[in-house]
Homo-oligomer: A and B are copies of this chain.
Amino acid sequence: MQTLTPVSACRHTTTIHVTTTQVTQFIDLTDRLERLVADADLRFGIVNVQTLHTTTAIIVNEHEPLLLTDFQALFEAVAPGAGRYQHDDMQARTVNVTEGERPNGHAHCRALLLPPSVCLNVTGGRLLLGRWQRVFLVELDGPRERDLSVIVFGETGR
């Protein structure tokens, strides 16, 4: 364990915009997050990555293309795209109905089982990630325009 007197507070907030191109898609955010930590000169603290949508998620896992297809198969097993969802019954539904509403109950159900935000540690000026850990935005109802909020919070080296 290591205790240091804080030098000066540091906080940055940024929005990352992503245009997704597929129905289900994994967008690797890791390089962008590492750059944010470096640009902020954050020495110690946290990075909180939050999606601003209800049919997306933030996950941390390995970036191996075949594994990402396994994840898609898991989503399909847990909440089938062709399943029946009350949320998609436009005869019955009266709340939050918008024009051109997509049938996306399956995407909300998939998002329910994944985190909407992930809080990661920063120490020694580096976003702490294990050898295989990569941070992804998961698109579950694309293609769409998506926004994430990232907060970098802690002590600077300046």
Please report A residues at the B interface, Cβ cutoff 8 Å: 1-6, 9-14, 36, 39-40, 44-46, 48, 50-54, 59-67, 69-71, 74, 78-79, 85-87, 89, 92-93, 95-96, 105, 108-109, 111-121, 123, 128-133, 147, 149-151, 153-155
Contacts and interface: CB of A to CB of B under 8 A. Distances in A.
Nearest to A122: B151
B53 A96 contact: no
Contacts of A113: 74, 113-114
16 contacts: A1-B14, A1-B36, A2-B13, A6-B9, A6-B11, A50-B120, A54-B62, A54-B130, A54-B132, A60-B116, A61-B111, A65-B95, A71-B112, A117-B119, A119-B119, A128-B149
